[in-house]
Structures are given as structure tokens and as C-alpha cells.
Amino acid sequence: MTNMAMIEIVAAEEIGSLKEHHGGVIRKEDVRVGATEEVQIYESFRPGDVVCAKIISLGDSRRYYLSTADNDLGVIRATCSTSGQVMAPISWKEMECPKTKVKEPRK
């Protein structure tokens, strides 16, 4: 079971696109407020997702620690695992493929 998601930071709010990409980590306890024991990283984020997160700590020398605990943070773009289509959010924890109507969990 994975306890963290590895993130590539490519842009910052007041800066825009970064010249160099930086590493980030979203730990299980930083996905959302509350019951962290119920959080499953793979049900919150998938490879290729675009995530809006905030930096909460400088972390170690290689990565920043990030959080998606606020309601306005989380996956902002996801691709359907079956059709490859960009999915649309339908709730705070689910996205839906417009083509196949398949629903997938995300934060």
C-alpha cells in the first residue's frame, strides 16, 4: 500500500510555468482533513493527473511536501483509464468520463 504520491511541480500560482521542474510529495495524511486512515492514495491520484496543491513544507533536499487538504485543492485534470478522454468532476471525490460514463475516484 502506498502512503504517498510523487508529484512533479511544473507551475506556481504567482509565477506561472517554472523553468525547472521540482519534485513534490503528497503524503496520505495531507490528502484531506479528517480520517486519514480511510485515504487511499491510488483512489485520490493516478499517474498523469494534474493536481492543484499547496506547499506545506520544504521537505527534504529533493522534494517539497504538498497538501490537497483544502476543499479547493485536488485533481483538476484526469484521464479516463479506459477511453483516454479527459474526465469531468462530478463530486469532491469522483470524476466521470464523458464518453463511457465510467466513474473513477479522485480527490
Closest CA to 24 of 48, 49, 60, 50: 60
Rounded average pLDDT over 80-106: 95
Residue 62 has φ and ψ, to the nearest 5°, of: -110, -25
Rounded average pLDDT over 80-93: 94
Between 51 and 38, name the one with better pLDDT. 51
Tell me how far the alpha carbon of residue 84 is from its chain's centroid.
18
Is 0.85 surpassed by the pTM of this model?
yes
75 pLDDT more than 90: yes
